[in-house]
Chain A
Amino acid sequence: QKEVEQDPGPLSVPEGAIVSLNCTYSNSAFQYFMWYRQYSRKGPELLMYTYSSGNKEDGRFTAQVDKSSKYISLFIRDSQPSDSATYLCAMSANTGGFKTIFGAGTRLFVKA
């Protein structure tokens, strides 16, 4: 079993829909949770960064962390065709280093 599980999709939604992306993890030591957006052949772009549990909102994006369930989510409101990309969850723990474990990435398509 991988430390971080993420459904690779693809996920296809109409423009304007609310998108929900999720990851589960097994290592309870993870404290830092991130969501990256990656367009084809580009470097991952940091979207959201959360420390420990809770919600964080930035524009159309909301990140949620539920450490008790070892479950994190990214919500995208009013999705746009430009949101079409691969979304990677990532998490790390302060265990002498900050090696980050990535999910497999979910491929999202937003149709105009």
Chain B
Amino acid sequence: AAGVIQSPRHLIKEKRETATLKCYPIPRHDTVYWYQQGPGQDPQFLISFYEKMQSDKGSIPDRFSAQQFSDYHSELNMSSLELGDSALYFCASSPPVGEQYFGPGTRLTVT
């Protein structure tokens, strides 16, 4: 069965640089969620989109922005990167009502 696809899987950036993470949801899933997970932490909700509109917002810094495109894929844009942004970033997708399925994650390292 198709799963959530995330790219890149690993990303190394320097402080103050910009990063873009991509997420391709499971076919026919129209809701996408972004999470940040630090070492030993549970996933922290950042933002979600339903039918290309932002549906909910969590603890997403103002330096981050995201959008969902017409093909339902989503991109998380992170600017002015800080050392503390180093984490695993997960995307999850779900149908309008139901459980979320997570992608493999993007490991971002900021040096």
Contact = CB atoms under 8 A, between A and B. Distances in A.
B25 to A, nearest CB: 13
A42 B48 contact: no
B50 interface: yes
Nearest to A34: B99
Nearest to A48: B99
Interface residues of B, number: 24
A43 B103 contact: yes
Q: Which of B33, B43, B94, B99 has the most chain A CB within a 10 Å cutoff? A: B99
Contact of B102 (A44, A94, A97, A101): A44
Contact of A98 (B31, B43, B104, B105): B31
Interface in B66-111: 88, 90, 94, 97-105, 107
A94 B105 contact: no
A100 B102 contact: no
Q: Which of A41, A44, A96 has the most chain B CB within a 10 Å cutoff? A: A44
Interface in A93-112: 94, 96-105
A104 B88 CA distance: 16
Contacts of B104: 42-43
Nearest to B103: A43
Contacts of B105: 41-43
A78 interface: no
A45 B42 contact: no
A41 B107 CA distance: 9
A32 interface: yes
